[in-house]
Chain A
Amino acid sequence: MTAVWIAIAVVAVVNIATKAAGPVLLGSRPLPRRAEGVVALLAPALLAALVVVDTASDGRALALDARVAGLAAAAVALALRAPLVVVVLVAPVAAAGVRALGWG
């Protein structure tokens, strides 16, 4: 149990420091122009990575399961320009449906 509390305390401190580092060091200064170009591209890069990792990995292995069906359903909803609430609803419904059929 000591290991649990040590991990909780240290992870909390590291996490807080990681989030605070940029804002504390930069202060109210605007980002340099070149850095702005990177920041503008950071969101698509990060989001694309989160999509594939959250969909197709299980720890340190690639894993294709019902989440793929959920993401496909979301993609169809997005292509039909459905509102966000619908998109985030059809994904779990499709994934749960596929799982109920015994896959993934």
Chain B
Amino acid sequence: MATYRDGVRAALPLLIPTLALGASFGVLARGLGWGVVAPVVMSIVVFSGSAQFAVASVLGGGGSAAAAILAAGLVNGRFLPMGIAAAPALRGGRLRRAAEAQTVVDASWAIAGQDGRFDRGLLIGATAPQFVAWVGGTALGAASGALIGDPARYGLDALFPAFFLALLVEELRGSDAQRTRVALAAAAIALALVALVPPGLPIVAACAAALVGLRRR
């Protein structure tokens, strides 16, 4: 089993982009009149870029709290299968497992998973610095109002797809053709649904491509 330190090291390339994305959320929320405290509290208790941007965009567009909650719930639906996948790696009683499960975020989950087995040290170690960067970035952005500006100007919005692609290539390297077919099918499902269903659902639906694993053995 890997140590927490290995996990921290694996997450290092993500710290600047996470900080910048956190800051851009802070700037956006401040611009919507949320003040400084609310965006920072949200980054601490929700700790999910996709859900937080979803809430900000629904409320910012004049939507109700209920609509914002629904959007965020759909966007984060993927954490249900991801939590199930990581479950055997976690420790302790129910409460501790529930707490450890909160460290499941996209990048850490992908770093910690290898062939369907998950490493608890990598998972928790990789999440800790991302949490600090996310909350710290939010505070910076909300306090300054516009310190960083649009992260897209620095191409930071291209960093996470590149990171996920690198992890995907790692997943597929030297594995059987079925994994590649599943990845292609998932990409096709997600792409086909983007314009048809609310944000978040395409990714949840794409996970269904993994169901062919039911008849694998």
Contacts and interface: CB of A to CB of B under 8 A. Distances in A.
B203 A20 contact: no
B165 A12 contact: no
B161 A54 contact: yes
Contact of B163 (A57, A60, A88): A88
A27 B155 CA distance: 42
Contact of A40 (B69, B84, B167, B213): B213
A42 to B, nearest CB: 4
Contacts of B97: 20, 23-24, 27
Contacts, number: 310
B141 to A, nearest CB: 16
A39 B85 contact: yes
A91 B216 contact: no
Interface string A4-20: 11111111101110111
A43 interface: yes
Interface residues of B, number: 99
A11 B184 CA distance: 31
B77 interface: yes
B79 A18 contact: yes
A75 B45 CA distance: 35
B194 A78 contact: no
The listed residue with most B CB atoms (<10 A of its CB), out of A34, A55, A92, is: A92
A54 to B, nearest CB: 4
Contacts of A91: 155, 158-159, 161-162
B172 A41 contact: no
Interface in B158-178: 158-169, 171-172, 178
A51 B165 contact: yes
A36 B116 contact: yes
Contacts of B189: 49
Contacts of B217: 33-34, 37
A74 B161 CA distance: 9
B38 A8 contact: yes
Given A19-B101, A43-B113, A55-B158, 4 more contacts: A12-B46, A42-B116, A45-B182, A99-B153
Interface of A: 1, 3-12, 14-16, 18-24, 26-31, 33-57, 59-62, 66-67, 69-71, 73-75, 78, 84-85, 87-88, 90-97, 99
19 contacts: A1-B33, A8-B41, A15-B46, A18-B76, A18-B77, A21-B83, A22-B86, A24-B97, A26-B84, A42-B81, A43-B167, A44-B168, A46-B106, A53-B202, A60-B198, A66-B155, A67-B158, A70-B159, A74-B162
